[in-house]
Structure 1
């Protein structure tokens, strides 16, 4: 399974689950965009330098069909492609929630059209099911991976909003925003 390979390479971080169901495999958690340096003589690594947070990834026959996550900074987008593009299916749907943009964009990079949506706070899963026009009742009795398959199928005719721009064009549209943090009330 694709996610087992990622785990062996140390690319899974803060994993919620990885699960297979038929020809599908699903993962939720963070994915590493830059491995931490080796920290000791036994080869244990320090925490990753950068990650894409709260990813929701669905693979079918070891090819990624749905790739969703949150980037703190748009400058990390090329690292997503460096690490994961070789595993993307030709018809992959990529939806990224980016902290430092304030208007939706469709970024053309590496032969892909990537939906980028500004989001400083909120839950990726909730935002994604809103995009798919689903509600909690649509997931009754489903396993974690089946829920992601349901979202993927509901996104079948999803058309991202926003101006189509190159990555360089998108970089001119970033804003000075950071992820909203919440502490104890």
Structure 2
């Protein structure tokens, strides 16, 4: 099963911005992805999802996820996210997590998969990706949605993120309220 089929068949898309191929990728997605579904009221009606990952930019040329950037409103969502999408994550993929409740950044391996983790600085994953790719909004102004996805993914995949290696526990300690937090929260 492909990631595209998995998302569609399980109704995991939420607030879709883009959901189609691009010139460079067989499948690309922008929007939110469901981590924990809402309560099913009737076969045709459910409550909104309990947990989502936001501002997702996903691109792939295979059945797995080749590129993923997203916002986690809390690092507490991470393990549920990995459990939900693990069969589509690979050691070869490039995965960037922008986390709202951590202070700092780093790269870590979790269940054999490498994740690049950043504190969400610009309040927008897209703006942070542009900074990492050394692109400006002006560079993308006249591009279509699919051209923007292709350009950002290509530049991020080529970039060296220059992150220090950490353990998952060290990343968790960067969480606001974690044991390494300083100052007022």
Which has more strand, going by share of residues? 1
Cα 1:120–1:58 shift into 2, 3 Å:
same
Aligned pairs (5 A) from 1:21-100: 21=22, 23-40=25-42, 42=43, 44-100=45-101
Q: 1:171 and 2:172 equivalent?
A: yes
Which deviates further from its counterpart, 16-25 or 96-105? 16-25
Structure 2 unaligned spans of 5+: 179-185
1:109-156 deviations in Å (ceiling 9; x for gaps):
111221111126522111111101122344365432232121121123
Structure 1 unaligned spans of 5+: 178-185
Asked if the contact 1:54–1:70 (Cα under 8 Å) also holds between the matched residues in 2, the reply is yes
Asked if the contact 1:115–1:161 (Cα under 8 Å) also holds between the matched residues in 2, the reply is no
Aligned twin of 1:181: none
Q: Structure 2 CA distance, aligned partners of 1:93 and 1:110? A: 15
SS at match of 1:39: strand
Q: Structure 2 CA distance, aligned partners of 1:66 and 1:49? A: 25
**Count of residue pairs brought into register by the alignment:** 176
SS at match of 1:64: coil
Which deviates further from its counterpart, 53-62 or 132-141? 132-141
Q: Structure 2 CA distance, aligned partners of 1:157 and 1:75? A: 29
Asked if the contact 1:33–1:52 (Cα under 8 Å) also holds between the matched residues in 2, the reply is yes
Q: Structure 1 CA distance, aligned partners of 2:85 and 2:161? A: 21
Q: Structure 2 CA distance, aligned partners of 1:63 and 1:137? A: 32
Q: Structure 2 CA distance, aligned partners of 1:158 and 1:100? A: 25
* Aligned-residue CA RMSD (Å): 2.3
Q: CA deviation at 1:45?
A: 2.2
Q: TM-score, normalised by structure 2?
A: 0.83
Q: Structure 1 CA distance, aligned partners of 2:164 and 2:147? A: 32
Q: Structure 2 CA distance, aligned partners of 1:128 and 1:68? A: 8
